[in-house]
Amino acid sequence: MGQTITEKIFSEHVGKEVYAGEIVRSPIDMVIGNDITTPISISAFNLSGAEKLANPDGFSIVLDHFIPAKDIASANQARISRDFAKKHNLKNFFDEKDMGIEHALLPEKGLIVPGDVIIGADSHTCTHGALGAFSTGMGSTDLAFAMISGGNWFKVPESIKVILSGKPEKHTTGKDIILEIIRMIGVDGALYRTLEFTGSTIEHLTMDDRFSMCNMAIEAGAKSGIVAVDDITREFLADKDLARRPKEHYSDVDASYSQILEIDVANLDPVIAYPFLPSNGHSVVQAVADKIKVDQAFIGSCTNGRLADLKVAAEILKGKKVHPDVRLIVTPGTQKILREANHLGYIDIIVDAGGVVSNPTCGACLGGYMGILGDNEVAISTTNRNFVGRMGSRSSKVYLANSAVAAISAITGYITDPRSI
C-alpha cells in the first residue's frame, strides 16, 4: 500500500511503516518556542522536576512577538526565556542580537531540514512544511513534554492532495493560491489533515511562495502543509550549514488521499480575503469594484515578510508616494532580509515613498505592537488572519492580500489591482 510524504516521514521516525489514523510516539527534530508561549512551557518543565533538555540542539527560542520589549510585562516575559536559555546554555536562542520572525529565521539559519518532524507553540509552525518536513503547531504544555522527553504523541494525519496546474500570472503568488484553497474548502475544510501541494505549478513557485502557502494551511484547519523537495528547495538550502542531514520523501503514486483538489492557477486572479475570515475570498477585480478605502497597508509577518515581498513593494512604490490618508508599515521577516533589502535599495525606496520600516516582529499581525488599528479603521494586510479585532479595535477591518496588492493600495488609498499599473 502506497504512502504519502507525511506517512513516510513518521514511518522513518518511529522505525516502522505507519499510515493515517495511527497514533504514534515520534522523536522530534526541532521544538520551537517564542516569547509569548515559551514561559508557559518553561513553567511546566520546571514543575515536572526535569533537570535538562532531552535534545538541547533541537530546541529553539525566538523572541519575536513583543521584542524589543513594548512594555514592562513583555520585558518580564522575555526575561523568563533569557534566563532559561542562559541556564541551559541554549545554542539556538535568538533575541535582539539576531532578530527574526521565527518562521522566517529558522529556515534561514539551516535549522529546518527536509524530512524533519517539527513542533512549535505557534499555530503557523506549519510554514516549515515548505521544506519537505512535517511541521505543526501544538500547545505550550505539549512543548514542555517534548523538551523533557525529546518526542511527543501524534495521530498521523490524512492528506488532501492539492494539484496545481499552470503558470501563475505576474502578481499572482503563493498567497493567492492558499487564499483560493481556503475559499474553496473553508476554515475547517482540512481539519487535522495535511495539505500536500503538488502539480506543474510548483516548479514556478519560489520558496517564498511555498512558505506562504504552507504558513496558511492552518487557516483551512490543516494540521500541516507540505511541498516535496525539488531543485528549488535544494538551491535554497545549498548555502546553509544544515543542522541535520536532509531526508527527501515523496508520495507514492498509489498513496491514499482523503480528498483531491484541482486548481488552474494560470487563470487565478489575486485573491482578497474580506473580513472576518480568511475563507471570505474574492477576486481583486471584485475588491476594486467595491471601492474599499484603506487607512493602513501592512507588508510583513511570517506569511509575507520575505525579500520577495519587499522587492515587489519597492518596484511598485519606486518614484511614487503613499496616499496622504494611508499609513504604510513594512516589517522584514529577519535582520538578514532587512540588510539585503537595504543593500538592494528597497528600504530607501519604501521610506522615500512615505513608508515606515520596523524591526522584525509579529506584533502588528496579532494586534499587539507596531501597527495596531484604531476604531473603524481598515487595513490591507499581507498577514494570515482577519478575525474580528485581529489587528486592533474590534470595529476595525482587515483585508488579506499579497504584497503587490498592499503596495499599490498604499499609493491609491483604495484596494487596487496591481496589474493595473
The yes-or-no verdict on residue 295 having pLDDT over 90 is yes
The backbone torsions φ and ψ at residue 329, rounded to the nearest 5 degrees and listed phi first, read -120, 130
Cell of 221: 484547519
Radius of gyration of the chain (CA): 20
Q: Tell me the residue type at 118.
A: I
DSSP-derived 3-state class of residue 415: coil
Contacts of 352 (CB under 8 A, 6+ apart): none
Q: What is the pLDDT of residue 310?
A: 97
CA angle 112, 298, 31 (to 5 degrees): 20
**Element holding 151 (H helix, E strand):** strand 151-155
State what percent of residues in the chain have pLDDT above 90.
98
Cell of 408: 499599490
Is residue 421 over pLDDT 90? Answer: no
pLDDT class of 1 with cuts at 50, 70, 90 = confident
Average pLDDT value for residue range 263-279? 97
What is the DSSP-derived secondary structure letter of residue 269? P
Say if residue 239's pLDDT is above 90.
yes
For the chain, give the percent of residues with pLDDT over 70. Answer: 100
Average pLDDT score, the chain:
96
The Cα-based distances of 390 to 60, 215, 221, 357 in angstroms read 26, 17, 18, 21
pLDDT, one tens digit per residue, over 328-372 is 999 999 999 999 999 999 999 999 999 999 999 998 889 999 999
Using CA atoms, how far apart are residues 143 and 153, in angstroms rounded to an integer?
11
pLDDT confidence of residue 418? 96
**Cell numbers placing 288:** 476594486
As a 3-state breakdown, the chain gives helix, strand, coil percent values, each rounded to 5, of 40, 20, 40
187: left (phi over 0), alpha (psi -120 to 50) or beta: alpha
Neighbours of 150 (CB within 10 A): 17
Partners of 23 in the β-ladder: 155
**Cis status, amide bond into 270, omega within 30 of 0:** no
Count of CB atoms situated within 10 Å of the CB of 49: 7
The torsion of the CA quartet 393, 398, 403, 406, rounded to 10 degrees, works out to -90
* Residue 165 burial (CB count, 10 A): 15
Q: What is the pLDDT of residues 94-149, one digit of tens each?
A: 999 999 999 999 999 999 999 999 999 999 999 999 999 999 999 999 999 999 99
Q: Which whole number is the average pLDDT over 157-169?
A: 97
Taken as a whole, the chain contains a residue count of: 421
**Mean pLDDT of all residues in 6-30:** 97
Q: Which helix or strand (DSSP H or E) is residue 141 part of?
A: helix 140-149
Section 296-324 average pLDDT = 97
- CA-CA distance, 255 to 261, in Å (whole number)? 15
C-alpha cell of residue 402: 499579497
Phi, psi of 125 (to 5 degrees): -60, -20
Cβ(333)–Cβ(101) below 8 Å = yes
> Rounded distance, CA 81 to CA 95, Å?
10
Evaluate whether 246 touches 114 at the Cβ level (below 8 Å).
yes
CA dihedral 301, 182, 386, 405 (to 10 degrees): 60
Average pLDDT over residues 213-233: 97
| Residue 363 vs residue 220, higher pLDDT | 220
Domains detected in the chain: 21-155 (3.30.499.10), 157-241+254-268 (3.30.499.10), 272-420 (3.30.499.10)
